[in-house]
């Protein structure tokens, strides 16, 4: 069961994350206390195990909330129709070629044009597509003409960098996500407790995780020019 000291820690954790960032070392210490594993000379959970669950939690949160965005550029290569995702890319949001926006199209729709895979002449692309095999690929319905296009710019949802040293700050150090570092502690603690066959305590932290995750998912989408309506409705 969660002891009184654990409940006090949860309250402090909720307050602290609205004031400053939690770094990886602090997150490890909080998790040890939440799962009642405070004997640092002979810990029940190894640093490797905690690291695995912390990074799993951070990635799951980022994937669920789409909280991290990135922009990158590719140089168009003569004769090349497809380009690999970078390692931190998760979902493509927008692609432009020389500031011209390209819409996305599915492979199934492209297949209705039986010539798109055999026509290898350099042209102006009308669409881009994404396919996933061993690697994730960005491609175009024709080979981009290097005479007309030189720069490919991609806006995307990105995966967070792993936390591996004490000073690392979650979610790539993005300040607006400081209030949500506690969610990593709750989720990682729940996973550790489930692994340790303590489902009752695991369920408590998992509920805290879900509640905060839903709050995070809603609040990070509120922009400075967004004003929610005041009224009653279904």
Quick count: other Cβ atoms within 10 Å of Cβ 218? 10
Q: Which backbone phi and psi does 104 adopt, to 5 degrees? A: -90, 150
The number of helices, as runs of H, and strands, as runs of E, in the chain is 6, 9
* Among the listed residues 154, 159, 157, the one whose alpha carbon sits nearest the alpha carbon of residue 75: 154
Task: Specify the pLDDT at position 40.
Answer: 82
Distance in angstroms (rounded) separating the CA atoms of residues 102 and 148: 15
pLDDT of residue 126 exceeding 90, the answer is no
pLDDT at 187 over 80: yes
Give residue 206's pLDDT.
Answer: 98
Q: Could you give the CA distance from residue 165 to residue 24 in angstroms, rounded to a whole number? A: 7
**Average pLDDT value for the chain:** 86
Residue 67 has pLDDT above 70, yes or no: yes
Question: Is a pLDDT exceeding 90 seen at residue 41?
Answer: no
8-39 tens-digit pLDDT: 555 555 555 556 899 999 999 999 999 999 98
The CA distance from 52 to 88, in Å, is 18
Tens-place pLDDT, residues 71-85: 999 988 888 889 999
* Pair of tokens at residue 139: 């491609």
pLDDT at 90: 94
CA pair distance 77, 122, nearest whole angstrom:
11
> Sign of the CA dihedral 94, 97, 102, 108?
negative
CB 186 within 8 A of CB 67: no
pLDDT at residue 111 tops 90: no
Two structure tokens written together for 109: 């729709």
What is the C-alpha to C-alpha distance for residues 94 and 48, in angstroms, rounded to an integer? 37
Whether 161 shows a pLDDT value over 90: the answer reads yes
pTM value is 0.81
In degrees and rounded to multiples of 5, residue 47 shows phi and psi of -60, -35
> 25: Cβ–Cβ under 8 A, 6 or more apart, which residues?
166, 167
Q: For residue 183, which of 202, 157, 158, 206 has the smallest C-alpha distance? A: 206
What mean pLDDT do residues 110-116 have? 80
**Cα angle at 160 between 154 and 164, to 5 degrees?**
145
């Amino acid at each position: 069961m969660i002891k009184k000291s654990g409940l006090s820690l949860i309250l402090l954790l909720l307050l602290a994350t609205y004031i400053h960032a939690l770094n990886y070392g602090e997150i490890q210490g909080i998790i040890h206390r939440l799962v009642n594993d405070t004997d640092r000379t002979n810990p029940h959970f190894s640093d490797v195990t905690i690291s695995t669950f912390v990074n799993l939690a951070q990635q799951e949160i980022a994937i669920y909330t789409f909280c991290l965005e990135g922009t990158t550029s590719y140089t168009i290569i003569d004769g090349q129709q497809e380009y690999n995702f970078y390692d931190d890319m998760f979902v493509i949001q927008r692609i432009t070629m020389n500031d011209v926006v390209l819409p996305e199209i599915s492979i199934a729709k492209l297949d209705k044009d039986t010539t798109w895979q055999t026509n290898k002449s350099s042209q102006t692309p009308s669409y881009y597509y994404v396919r996933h095999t061993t690697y994730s690929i960005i491609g175009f319905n024709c080979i981009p003409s290097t005479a007309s296009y030189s720069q490919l710019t991609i806006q995307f949802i990105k995966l967070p960098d792993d936390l591996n040293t004490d000073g690392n700050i979650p979610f790539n150090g993005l300040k607006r996500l400081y209030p949500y570092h506690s969610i990593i502690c709750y989720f990682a603690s729940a996973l550790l407790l489930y692994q340790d066959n303590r489902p009752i305590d695991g369920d408590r932290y998992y509920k805290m995780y879900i509640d905060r995750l839903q709050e995070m998912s809603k609040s990070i989408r509120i922009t400075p020019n967004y004003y929610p309506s005041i009224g009653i409705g279904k």
